Structure 1
Amino acid sequence: MSRRNSLVTGANRGLGLEYCRQLLARGDHVIATARHPAQAHELNRLAADHPGRLHVLPLDVTDPKAEAEIARELPLVLGDEPLHLLINNAGLLHSGERFGHVAAANLEDSFRTNAMGPFLLTQALAPRLAEGATVANMSSQLGSIAGTTRFGTPTYCITKAALNMATRLLAAALADRGIRVVSLHPGWVATDMGGEQAPLAPAQSVEGLLKVLDGVGMSQSGSFLDWQGKVLPW
């Protein structure tokens, strides 16, 4: 393979931005998406440092029309080349939710961002995926039903559990093409979402996640794994 083509959503900050850095460092051609590219200053600086190897495109994962549009735009960036790695990283967490006061609007936009978006984007980009490609859905251990013992961040937990089901369904749908689909828990990472007190740096988490993705075989497609490759309970 002359080069590997990777697409990362939610690439303007945090894990998404770090994915772009590490994928570029190992030689990938990267398509990075953000809801508002003009405001993604660090991502744009990274693109300037890697002309022709990092393309920044607008994408609101909650908008099915935008997902269909990016599928149409990919040939302008990749030509006839396929996509080898799709990282559905864009996510949303509403903080401060309390039982009895969880807003329907919070649940709706969390579902659109965390579950519907990754599913519909993968479906839209499926014709562009290479045989044997990998799809990574960035989930969380908070989406584990078996691991839930308390009430907290309900809209995030519910929609990450839905994302895990999407992973299983996509894995079944794409199995005959040898495409592997996994849900990944990045650990507790010091990002805007994870907070400064988190023990993992984004670089450490992404380094581990990429090692996991490199080692995923078809027997693990549809699995729920953490950043060190440990299987997590559904």
Structure 2
Amino acid sequence: MTLTYVITGASRGLGLEFVKQVSLQGHLVFALARHPESSEPLQALLKDRENVIAVKMDTTCENSIKEAVEKVSQRCAGAIDILINNAGINGPKTFNVENTPKKEYVRIFETNVGGVSDVTQAFLPLLRQGTTKKILNISSILGSITNIATANPGGHGSAYDVSKTALNMLTKLFANHLAKENFIVYSTHPGWVKTDMGGESAPVEQADSIAGMLKVLDTIQPQDNGSFYNYTGSKLEW
């Protein structure tokens, strides 16, 4: 069955790899990014695959989100099946929990929490018309209160960690709210991946991370609504 995906942060890193693998499966993919025209790899995909459509969207701008939804709706007959909220930002590791200023928390929350909330709300009417009604939020083990003592004992980059904890709560709230409509909303830790954010020393390749997350996405069941997964398919504690 051919599905329609909307993927944010799709110009590079994990988002771009999502677009590559999902489109290779034959699905229709809307690749959303702030500057899709500036991404050479994404532009190459657009030339190579007719089932990839790039749409300009800034997740921190309500007007930009509204315009993106309108463009997607025009091309997908008003229905999408899967939303992957991948867009996110990190902060400098020079900040830790002792010296992170308030403005750093606010800056990262705007994208990692507020942006995800606004995008999800905006695309809900299209998701309600779709078949699978799945929403995947890309989180991090750094947002796990249970695991943070081992994942980041020094508290470096605390604003990012706190934002991912908040994203997990947002995920759970959307999952509870939409359960009666047979939605499946969940969070996933993609692993420590070789990206601009993860760095070259990261042990997980982008292709392996995305393949693992797509396997979970394909097989997840309604009873798993509101769960937190590792990219390997194992469940994580909040």
The residue identity in structure 1 corresponding to 2:139 is: S
Alignment partners' CA distance in 2, 1:18 and 1:58: 18
1:118 match:
116
Pairing 1:78-157 to 2, within 5 Å after superposition? 78-80=76-78, 82-95=79-92, 96-129=94-127, 130-149=130-149, 150=153, 151-157=155-161
Alignment partners' CA distance in 2, 1:174 and 1:104: 32
Q: Deviations over 1:88-124 (max 9, x none)?
A: 0001111221344313332112101111111121111
Consecutive unaligned residues of structure 1, counting only runs of 5 or more, are: none
- What percent identity do the matched residue pairs reach? 37
Alignment partners' CA distance in 2, 1:140 and 1:43: 25
Report the secondary structure of 2:115's partner residue.
helix
Given that 1:10 and 1:89 are in contact with CA atoms closer than 8 Å, whether structure 2 keeps it comes out as yes
Shift in Å, 1:131: 4.5
TM-score scaled by length of structure 2: 0.93
The residue identity in structure 2 corresponding to 1:154 is: S
- Which of 210, 213, 220 is the matching residue for 1:209? 213
Q: Deviations over 1:146-199 (max 9, x none)?
A: 112221211100100010011001111211221100100001101111110111
Shift in Å, 1:229: 1.4
Shift in Å, 1:68: 2.2
Consecutive unaligned residues of structure 2, counting only runs of 5 or more, are: none
Given that 2:97 and 2:157 are in contact with CA atoms closer than 8 Å, whether structure 1 keeps it comes out as no
1:45 match:
44
Q: Deviations over 1:20-60 (max 9, x none)?
A: 00001101100001111221121111111113x11111111
Structure 1: 4+ residue segments shifted above 4 A = none
TM-score scaled by length of structure 1: 0.95
Deviates more, 1:175-184 or 1:96-105: 96-105
Report the secondary structure of 1:67's partner residue.
helix
Shift in Å, 1:76: 1.7
Shift in Å, 1:69: 2.1
Alignment partners' CA distance in 2, 1:57 and 1:40: 12
Shift in Å, 1:74: 1.7
Given that 1:131 and 1:179 are in contact with CA atoms closer than 8 Å, whether structure 2 keeps it comes out as no
1:74 match:
72
Aligned pair in 2 of structure 1 residues 24, 132: CA closer, same or farther (>3 Å)?
Answer: closer
Report the secondary structure of 1:32's partner residue.
strand
Given that 1:34 and 1:40 are in contact with CA atoms closer than 8 Å, whether structure 2 keeps it comes out as no
1:181 match:
185
- Which of 44, 53, 56 is the matching residue for 2:54? 56
Given that 1:67 and 1:121 are in contact with CA atoms closer than 8 Å, whether structure 2 keeps it comes out as yes
Given that 2:55 and 2:71 are in contact with CA atoms closer than 8 Å, whether structure 1 keeps it comes out as no
RMSD: 1.2
Report the secondary structure of 1:120's partner residue.
helix
